[in-house]
Homo-oligomer: A and B are copies of this chain.
Amino acid sequence: MAPLRSWFSIPRGSHFSLANIPFGVISTASSATPRVAVAIGEHALDLEIFAANNGFSALSTIQPHQAVFSQPSLNAFAALGRPLHSIVRKYIQSVFAVDTPYPDVLQTNSALQKQALLPLKEVQCHLPFKIGDYTDFFVGLHHAYSCGVMFRGEANALNPNYKHLPVGYHGRASSIVVSGTPIRRPNGQFLDNPTAEKKVPIFSPVKKLDYELELAAFVCKANKQGEPVSIREAEDSLFGIVMMNDWSARDVQSWEYVPLGPFNAKNFGTSVSPWVVLMEALEPFRATGIENDQDVLPYLKEEHEETVYDIKLQVDLKSGSGNSSTVAASNGRYLLWSFPQMVAHHTSTGCNLQPGDLLGSGTISGTGSSERGCLLEQTENGKKPVKIAGGEERTFLQDGDEVTFTGVCGSDEEALVGFGQCTGRIEPALQLSF
């Protein structure tokens, strides 16, 4: 399929080609109230201004709902449902198409172009959703396997439940922040000497601060409490996908997590990329996930094989002294369970999802030594430092380190469907005294 061409200048290699049209929430210096936008090339199209200036004049279905674009989150737009997301995305594509049927709307309307097309450099991105509940899964099998080997050996690497259900846990919603927000190294309670017979914990700035490379899906559809979402309908509950960094303090995690799971190890901050790529934009990049060699129970059985997406993922680490290196590459295909399977399992008890809920995939690693989605795995819990530029090396993150995830689908430089970046820089811990 030939790429969609635009009358508007979209640089080759842009993540935000006309094939994408991701949604986000922005504000600007001159207009500080957050509102909804889409990203196109190196610009954001401010949908509040676009709507207020008859941008949707040729799209009667959206007109009764235009107030959603003035909201400070995507929750209201998402709640309109997948058919409307599709209509709006396709309309925006047609407005920007080189042969647009609606030239008056924007192509020949230079006043509106000036008002509504804002250079991304001048735009501040906000957390795209008001997140009610956040669930983090653990379905990156290669990651689960190598961490399992590290702690329990090959024979017991995967727990008995792992291939029967998408293992997950509730995460902390309040501390999810948008890419670019600095992350302060937390203080925490942990064992400074975990192998000592007597377990004497200390409380100090954590020493094993790590990132986790994840994808995460925002929910657009509410189900009533007590009413499961079937695997056949689960796709309709998904709005779109972002990259997520589930920052983790490994020393805290190993001390606290038995028996109720990770808590303080991960509650201090989680970063997400600002532009939400709609499920529809990802359709051409469907791929087969990791094969499950166990019988999957009917409530989790997908009809089709291509349940995940071929998303090239990359982790870059820039030290405080400015040395930058790519430390890992991975792919969105490396999942044992799909997002619809996560929805079906999560709601199988009758648990109610709500628009704006966030579902994380868990760390996504490949099988190769340069495909590890976190430092715990890549350095074997600190035993094998990873070399970065300038002769520096890392076991875990140091203050001043900046971690950047990049994700992109496709290879046609004029039709990429990309996620932009998810980045965060580590600030020194507070020195607490008692």
Contact = CB atoms under 8 A, between A and B. Distances in A.
Interface of A: 132-133, 135, 138, 159-161, 164-165, 167-175, 177, 184, 186-189, 199, 201-203, 225-228, 230, 249, 252, 255-264, 267-269, 297-299, 301, 345-346, 348-354, 357, 427, 430, 432, 434
Contacts of A298: 203, 434
A259 B268 CA distance: 20
A202 B173 CA distance: 31
A379 to B, nearest CB: 20
B349 A252 contact: yes
Instruction: Tell me how many chains of this kind the complex includes.
Output: 2
Contact of A159 (B175, B186, B258, B269): B258
Contacts of A138: 260
A189 B164 contact: yes
B434 A301 contact: yes
Q: What 9 pairs across the A-B complex have the smallest Cβ distances? A: A261-B261, A298-B434, A186-B349, A170-B170, A169-B260, A268-B349, A267-B351, A184-B226, A260-B261
Contacts of A354: 174
Contacts of A159: 258-259
B203 A352 contact: no
Contact of A189 (B203, B269, B348, B427): B348
Nearest to A231: B434
Contacts of A174: 132-133, 225, 351-354, 357
Given A186-B349, A255-B161, A170 B171 contact: yes
